[in-house]
Amino acid sequence: MPPVIIHLVAAQSGTGKTTIVEKLLPALKEKGLLVAALKGNLQHYDFDLPGKDSWRFARAGADIAGVTTPENYVLTGSEKGKSGIEAAASILKDFDLLIVEGNKSSRRPKIEVLRSNINFDPLLNENTIAVVSDRLDLQIDIPVINIEDSEALANFIMAKYFENKKTNQVGPDKLTHFDSRGRPRMVDVSTKDQTLREAYARGEILMSAETLTKVKAGSMSKGDVLGVAQVAAIMAVKETGRLIPMAHPLGVSGVEVDFEPVDTPQPKIEIGVRVKLTGQTGVEMEALTGVSIAALTIYDMCKAVDKNMIIQNIRLVEKKGGRSGHYCREQL
C-alpha cells in the first residue's frame, strides 16, 4: 500500500512551514508512523545540476543516484511518466506517511499554514483538509488547528488517515507486532533496559501405558527418548528467533529441561523448560518453543508403537523480568 501523501502549503513564504514539519515529525513518530518529509516543487537542486557527479550517474542510467556523507545520504531518481513526488512515493512504498512541504497547486490533500501577519485569510485551495493558524476564530468548514500545537496536528492526521490502524504505543489494547498500517513488524527493543529475564513453560504428551513403560525403560527402537527430547528442546530454544517470525534472535544464557512421567490416571509425560538470559526482551517464546519441540520429538520417537499420542496443555507458567514484572500462572 503506498504512503499517504499530505502537502503543507501556504500563500507565501515566511509562514514557518519548515518549523511546523520539524515539530510535527517527532509527534508522528511517537505514534508509530514511518514518515518521510520532502521539500516539494523545486526546479532543481545542487547535486542534480548538469556536470555534477550524481547528474552524470543518472544520465548514465542509474535508477537512483545520490550523494552520501559519513552519517547521511541524499538520493535522486525518476520514473518515466511520473512526477517527482509519485516516483518518490513508489520508492517509499513501505512508509506510512509522506509529508511534502510546498506545491499548493497539487490535487492531493493539503494542510494550509496561515499566519495573520503575513496573509490574513486562507487560500483554501482544492482538497485543503485543515488550516494550521494563529487565527483560531476562522469561520470555515474544515478544522482549524493551533499553529503551536504539534500534538493536535499529529492527532488530526492520525484520526483522519490511520484511525483503524495499530500503533506502537504499548497498552492493554495494542498489539505491538503490528505497525500503524496493520503490517507485521519486529518490535524495536533497543530502548529497553538490559535486565535478567526468565521464563518457565510446561506441556504434556498423553500416551498408552505400554508406551510410557517403554520410554521409562529406554527400550524404544529409536533409542533414549527423553535424552533426545532434551537435546531437541535446547536446540529449539536457540532457534526460536528463526522459527517464530517476529521473535528476536537471543543470546540465551541457560536452558533447563525436565520430564515427569505420570502413570495414573492418564499415562503421560509432563515437560518443563526454563530459559534465562540478561537482555532487552523476554524469553517466553523460547520456553514455549522448547516444550513444543520436546513433545514433538517424543511423538516422533514413539509413533511407531503409539500413533494415538496427544500433545496438549502447552502454556507459560512463570516469567520474571521486564516492564510487566513477575507473572505466575500456577503454583510451582
CB 158 within 8 A of CB 31: yes
Say whether the peptide bond before residue 265 is cis (omega within 30 degrees of 0).
Answer: yes
Tell me the backbone φ, ψ of residue 305, rounded to 5 degrees: -110, -10
Q: Give the single-character DSSP code of 178.
A: B
Residues with active-site annotation: 300
CB contact at 8 A, 99 and 24? yes
d(CA 202, CA 314): 6
* b/e per residue 107-132 (b: at least 16 CB within 10 A): ebbbbbbbbeeebeebbeeeebbbbb
Find how far residue 263's CA is from the centre of its chain: 46
Q: Identify whether the C-beta of residue 256 lies closer than 8 Å to the C-beta of residue 202.
A: no
